[in-house]
């Protein structure tokens, strides 16, 4: 039985059970670490359940959330302790160890604050409820004052009712006074002192009857006004009481977690004793949270730590070796594949070299033959054109047409053929170019190889032909061949 309990607490500490069981000198240390983690989680479970119940007032959901919260804190604490490592293996905590442990210590401090707050609310519950009640009453009084300002008409209506009632009371008092005088005079107990219905009696009786009529008139009119004002007053009072009731109901329900935290904050600002008590509880839970981490850093390195260090080192070396072997295999495969592809490419290039040379020679022969054929075809076409030009009829009235003209300084011969298309043939260095021409009065348009230019005929005789380009200084002088 004890062995199972030990293993459970070792598991809570995040240890390797099989390795730790072989290291008896470390059993107590990790039993204590596991116990701290477990009981901290239990306290967190209680605190979380209480906080949830305070907020939602549902016991079933509070139990479920408390268990969940405790499991969450347990897992976080177990992770923090199991990943902190053994430090430098000495009881002294070095600066480097503080740097390494800083994130985990911050997490532990935060968890300590989270766990301590709900328990503080429970421990100071009576004071908190009293503070909330006091604050609620103050807010109710403040709200009543606001409602009085919003419903200021109530006071006005009440003042009107009092004023109208005072008028009735004054008339009643006057009526009663005249009545007493009238009766007294009749009985002879006052006034003239003579009983009977004399002149004085009649005057007082008339005065009483006038006061009575006045009283009845005022009472009737004022009663109607008072009734109307009371109806309005009842409506306003009902609305005011309803709004006051709503506010009081909302204030009575404001006993949730936020209200309690706010009340605790106000109490600590008022009472130094309460503030110190709150922080003592908070620091206690912070210390409980960070204690396993600090104890691990301060404790000497034991057999369990050394064994785990060796196992981790062996595992790292083995994994690195596997990675190295895989890289070697991949590099070898790549090198073999590259050499194989290079050999295949060299063989293909060598095998195709003769074929490529033969294709090049054949292409050169074909190109040479095509050039010769094209040359013969062009010469035959030009000879045919010249023969046709020579055999055509000439017109004596147009001197430059159907004649061969030699362009000075270039040695080019121009032949302006007169026909449907007005062809132009130019021969230079045994090469022929074709185009066309068009005459419009003393202007001559020449189109040669897609380029069209307009010239002005400057001189035209039987053996001389000169033209000037209209848009430049270009001047062409021809002589009859």
Residue 179 pLDDT > 80, yes or no? yes
Distance CA 64, CA 61 (A): 5
Cβ neighbourhood burial of 331 (10 Å; 0-12, 13-18, 19+): exposed
Q: What is the pLDDT of residue 68?
A: 92
Mean pLDDT over 52-58 rounds to 76
Quote the pLDDT of residue 309: 81
Whole-number pLDDT of residue 409: 66
Taking the C-alpha atoms of residue 34 and residue 10, their distance in angstroms, rounded to an integer, is: 6
Among 69, 53, 72, smallest CA distance to 122 is for 53
Question: Strand, coil or helix: what is 196?
Answer: coil
Return the C-alpha torsion angle 406, 410, 415, 416, nearest 10: -100
- Largest Cα separation within the chain, whole Å, is 183
Work out whether strand 423-428 and strand 431-440 pair parallel, antiparallel, or are unpaired: antiparallel
Contact between residue 185 and residue 179 where contact means Cβ atoms under 8 Å apart: no
> How many CB atoms lie under 10 A from the CB of residue 184?
15
Residue 192 has pLDDT above 80, yes or no: no
Per-residue pLDDT band at 417 (split at 50, 70, 90): confident
How far apart (Å, rounded) are the C-alpha atoms in residues 16 and 36? Answer: 18
Query: Any idea which residue has 């202007």 for tokens?
Result: 443
Mean pLDDT of 173-179: 87
Check: pTM over 0.85? Answer yes or no.
no
| Residue 203 pLDDT greater than 80, yes or no | yes
**CA pair distance 399, 392, nearest whole angstrom:** 15
Within 17-94, residue ranges assigned H as helices are 17-21, 27-56, 59-82
Let me know if domain 392-480 sits in CATH 2.40.128.280.
Answer: yes
What digits encode the pLDDT tens for the residues 327-382?
888 988 888 888 887 877 777 777 677 777 777 787 778 877 877 787 777 677 76
- Give me 389's structure tokens: 């030009």
Quote the pLDDT of residue 86.
61
- Res. 383 pLDDT band, cuts 50 70 90: low
Rounded Cα distance, 463 and 10, in Å: 127
442-472: per-residue pLDDT in tens? 888 888 877 888 898 888 888 888 889 888 8
Tokens of residue 443, six digits: 């202007």
> What is the reported pLDDT for 55?
67
Give the model's pLDDT for residue 391: 44
Q: Which long-range contacts (CB under 8 A, 24 or more apart) does 414-423 make?
A: 414/478, 415/386, 415/389, 417/389, 417/392, 418/392, 418/394, 419/392, 423/385
Which pLDDT value is given to residue 420? 63
User: What is the per-residue pLDDT for 281?
Assistant: 83
The count of other CB atoms within 10 Å of the CB of residue 29 is 20
């Amino acid at each position: 039985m004890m062995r199972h309990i030990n293993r459970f607490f070792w598991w809570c500490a995040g240890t390797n059970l099989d390795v730790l069981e072989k290291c008896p000198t470390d059993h107590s240390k990790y039993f204590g670490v596991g116990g701290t983690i477990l009981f901290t989680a239990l306290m967190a479970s209680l605190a979380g359940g209480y906080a949830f119940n305070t907020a939602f007032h549902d016991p079933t959901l509070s139990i479920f959330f408390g268990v969940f919260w405790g499991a969450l804190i347990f897992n976080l604490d177990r992770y923090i302790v199991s990943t902190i490592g053994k430090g430098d293996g000495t009881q002294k905590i070095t600066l480097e160890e503080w740097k390494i442990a800083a994130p985990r210590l911050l997490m532990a401090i935060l968890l300590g604050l989270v766990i301590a707050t709900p328990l503080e609310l429970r421990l100071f519950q009576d004071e908190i409820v009293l503070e909330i009640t006091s604050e609620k009453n103050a807010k109710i009084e403040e709200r009543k004052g606001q409602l009085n300002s919003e419903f200021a008409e109530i006071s006005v209506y009440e003042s009107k009712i009092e004023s109208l009632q005072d008028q009735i009371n004054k008339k009643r008092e006057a009526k009663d006074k005249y009545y007493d005088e009238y009766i007294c005079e009749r009985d002879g107990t006052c006034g003239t002192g003579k009983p009977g219905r004399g002149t004085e009696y009649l005057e007082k009786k008339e005065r009483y009857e006038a006061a009575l009529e006045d009283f009845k008139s005022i009472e009737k009119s004022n009663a109607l006004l008072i009734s109307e004002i009371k109806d309005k007053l009842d409506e306003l009072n009902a609305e005011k009481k309803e709004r006051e009731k709503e506010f009081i109901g909302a204030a009575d329900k404001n006993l949730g977690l936020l209200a309690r935290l706010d009340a605790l904050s106000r109490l600590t600002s008022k009472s130094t004793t309460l503030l110190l008590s709150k922080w003592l509880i908070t620091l206690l839970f912070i210390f409980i949270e960070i204690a396993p981490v600090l104890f691990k850093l301060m404790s000497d390195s034991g057999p369990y730590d050394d064994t785990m260090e060796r196992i981790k080192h062996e595992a790292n070396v083995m994994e690195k070796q596997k990675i190295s072997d895989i890289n070697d295999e991949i590099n070898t495969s790549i090198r073999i594949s590259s050499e194989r592809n290079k050999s295949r490419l060299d063989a293909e290039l060598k095998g195709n070299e003769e074929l490529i040379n033969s294709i090049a020679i054949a292409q050169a022969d074909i190109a040479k033959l095509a050039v010769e054929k094209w040359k013969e075809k062009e010469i035959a076409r030009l000879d045919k054109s010249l023969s046709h030009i020579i055999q055509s009829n000439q017109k004596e009235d147009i001197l430059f047409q159907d004649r061969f003209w030699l362009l000075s300084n270039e040695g080019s011969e121009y032949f302006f053929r007169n026909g449907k298309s007005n062809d132009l043939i130019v021969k230079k260095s045994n090469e022929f170019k074709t185009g066309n021409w068009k005459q419009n009065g003393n202007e001559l348009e020449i189109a040669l190889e897609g380029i069209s230019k307009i010239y002005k005929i400057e001189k035209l005789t039987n053996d001389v032909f000169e033209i000037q380009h209209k848009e430049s200084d270009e001047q062409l002088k021809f002589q009859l061949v």
